[in-house]
């Protein structure tokens, strides 16, 4: 008994010592820009509740990310903090069907219609040169745009400077995120983005200390996939969004999956960009199709804690649109440059699809600030 107590005390001391030693979590002081709470998203959607210290945590996370990007890309254009490696931006049509159930007919899904869309497929890792055959998370970001024949049914909550208004849907090939508490995310990013070698060495201890066991398992699982083709992969929004407005609004999550999934065969290849090659090959001769679906929250499923999946048995996904990607040559210099210069942001959303939960609220100021940095440094 005495022995166990001693061991526990020893372990605690060792962990505390390591945390102290790590000492130098990045705080981004030189880039810290406070957020005016009056401009911060109001937590008034279904299931929403502002967390203590959340607004400042968002400002800190933006400053920490900014500091790392300034170090990584000192004299060259800054790239995206997350998902910097694209497999390509492809033109698509986002068609809302006429069979959408009445309860889901809000915002973009209110009426049938075919919209223009641009989809950016990517790897998650912060290293834009990481080979595709290394385990990673994979992203699919859909930008739905209006046209004179089919205008967007409303004005988005935010529009990137210099860009067309759009409804963006941002997804990853894993259903859950790694943190619920904004302050925990600040700790995680502070350690992860620290330039200190000691801190980097201690990351395997510091990550679970900052985001707990469930968050750590999710973080590992979300970044451990190998895929054969981004067009043959399923994606989830991980975090929730509002559907509808006012008293009838509900919380939903999104998912997109191939209309006709093929068995996944991971190629044995030394081509570090084989995912782009797979898309080029498929779209040179034919198209691709994905189903876009929403899952309506039921019971006590959490809006603020995206570490837990909403059960598909209790809350099944329902299709609201089809994404058709026609045959095309997308791998051209101008299209790749436009892809790099684009901005996808969960707040590029119609009011009926307002982003929900602390992670999404934080993302608004962070995505805007990092996109601003990318625009400012694009010419260097």
What is the binding site for ligand HEM (CB under 6 A)? Answer: 61, 65, 80-83, 120, 122, 139, 141, 170-172, 177, 185, 237-239, 343-344, 359, 362-363, 366-367, 370-371, 374
Q: Shortest Cβ distance from residue 3 to ligand HEM (Å)?
A: 42
Contacts of 64 (CB under 8 A, 6+ apart): 26, 27, 28, 186, 189, 190, 193
Which CB, 153 or 219, lies closer to ligand HEM?
Answer: 219
Contacts of 301 (CB under 8 A, 6+ apart): 251, 308, 310, 311, 314, 315
User: Which residue number has the CB closest to ligand HEM?
Assistant: 139
Alpha-carbon span 117 to 119, nearest angstrom: 7
User: What phi, psi does 324 have (nearest 5°)?
Assistant: -110, 125
Which CB, 353 or 374, lies closer to ligand HEM?
Answer: 374
User: What phi, psi does 208 have (nearest 5°)?
Assistant: -60, -30
Q: Shortest Cβ distance from residue 375 to ligand HEM (Å)?
A: 9
Alpha-carbon span 70 to 78, nearest angstrom: 7
- Which helix (H) or strand (E) is 303 found in, with range? none
Which CB, 25 or 113, lies closer to ligand HEM?
Answer: 25
Alpha-carbon span 10 to 16, nearest angstrom: 10
Q: Shortest Cβ distance from residue 148 to ligand HEM (Å)?
A: 26
Q: Shortest Cβ distance from residue 122 to ligand HEM (Å)?
A: 5
Which CB, 186 or 352, lies closer to ligand HEM?
Answer: 186
The backbone region for 160, taken as left when phi is positive above 0, alpha when psi lies in -120 to 50, beta otherwise, is: beta
Which CB, 166 or 199, lies closer to ligand HEM?
Answer: 166
Q: Shortest Cβ distance from residue 96 to ligand HEM (Å)?
A: 21
Q: Shortest Cβ distance from residue 87 to ligand HEM (Å)?
A: 10
Which CB, 105 or 331, lies closer to ligand HEM?
Answer: 331
Which CB, 113 or 172, lies closer to ligand HEM?
Answer: 172
Q: Shortest Cβ distance from residue 239 to ligand HEM (Å)?
A: 5
* Sign of the CA dihedral running 159, 293, 126, 65: positive
Other Cβ atoms less than 10 A from the Cβ of 184: the count is 18
Which CB, 241 or 274, lies closer to ligand HEM?
Answer: 241
Structure tokens at 76: 């060259």
Q: Shortest Cβ distance from residue 57 to ligand HEM (Å)?
A: 9
User: What phi, psi does 252 have (nearest 5°)?
Assistant: -135, 160
DSSP letter for each residue of 311-378: PTTTS-EEEEEEEEE-S----SHHHHHHHHH----TTSS-GGG-B-SHHHHHHHHHHHHHHHHHHHHT
Which CB, 62 or 150, lies closer to ligand HEM?
Answer: 62
- Reduced to 3 states (helix: H, G, I; strand: E, B; else coil), residue 95 is strand
Q: Shortest Cβ distance from residue 359 to ligand HEM (Å)?
A: 5
Burial (CB < 10 A; 0-12, 13-18, 19+), residue 224, is exposed
Angle at 329 between CA 127 and CA 144, to 5 degrees: 70
Q: Shortest Cβ distance from residue 285 to ligand HEM (Å)?
A: 25
Which CB, 61 or 117, lies closer to ligand HEM?
Answer: 61
Other Cβ atoms less than 10 A from the Cβ of 61: the count is 24
């Amino acid at each position: 008994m005495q022995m166990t107590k001693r061991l526990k005390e020893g372990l605690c001391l060792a962990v505390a010592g390591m945390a102290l030693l790590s000492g130098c979590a990045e705080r981004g002081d030189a880039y810290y820009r406070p957020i005016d709470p009056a401009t911060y998203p109001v937590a008034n959607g279904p299931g929403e509740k502002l967390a203590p210290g959340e607004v400042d945590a968002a400002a800190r996370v933006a400053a920490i990310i900014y500091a790392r990007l300034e170090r990584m890309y000192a004299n060259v254009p800054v790239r995206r903090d997350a998902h910097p490696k694209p497999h390509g931006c492809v033109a698509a049509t986002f068609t809302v069907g006429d069979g959408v159930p009445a309860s889901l007919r809000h915002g973009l899904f209110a009426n049938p219609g075919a919209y223009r869309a641009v989809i950016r497929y990517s790897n998650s890792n912060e290293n834009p040169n990481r080979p595709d055959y290394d385990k990673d998370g994979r992203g699919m970001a859909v930008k739905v745009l209006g046209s004179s024949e089919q205008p967007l049914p409303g004005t988005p909550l935010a529009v990137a400077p210099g860009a067309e208004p759009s409804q963006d849907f941002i997804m990853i090939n894993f259903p859950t995120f790694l943190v619920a508490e904004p302050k925990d995310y600040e700790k995680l990013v502070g350690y992860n983005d620290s330039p200190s070698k000691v801190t980097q060495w201690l990351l395997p201890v510091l990550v679970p200390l900052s985001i707990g066991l469930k968050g750590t398992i999710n973080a590992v699982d979300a970044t451990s996939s190998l895929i054969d083709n981004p067009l043959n992969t399923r994606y989830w929004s991980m975090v929730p969004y509002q559907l509808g407005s006012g008293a009838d609004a509900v919380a939903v999550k999104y998912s997109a999956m191939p209309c006709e999934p093929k068995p996944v065969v991971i190629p044995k290849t030394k081509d570090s960009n084989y995912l782009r090659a797979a898309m080029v090959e498929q779209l040179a001769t034919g198209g691709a199709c994905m189903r876009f679906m929403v899952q309506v929250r039921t019971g006590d499923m959490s809006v603020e804690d995206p570490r837990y999946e909403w059960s598909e048995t209790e809350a099944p996904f329902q299709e609201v649109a089809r994404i058709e990607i026609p045959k095309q040559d997308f791998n051209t210099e101008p299209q790749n440059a436009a892809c790099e210069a684009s901005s996808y942001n969960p707040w590029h959303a119609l009011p009926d699809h307002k982003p929900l939960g602390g992670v999404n609220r934080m993302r608004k100021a962070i995505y805007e600030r990092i996109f601003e940095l990318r625009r400012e440094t694009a010419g260097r």
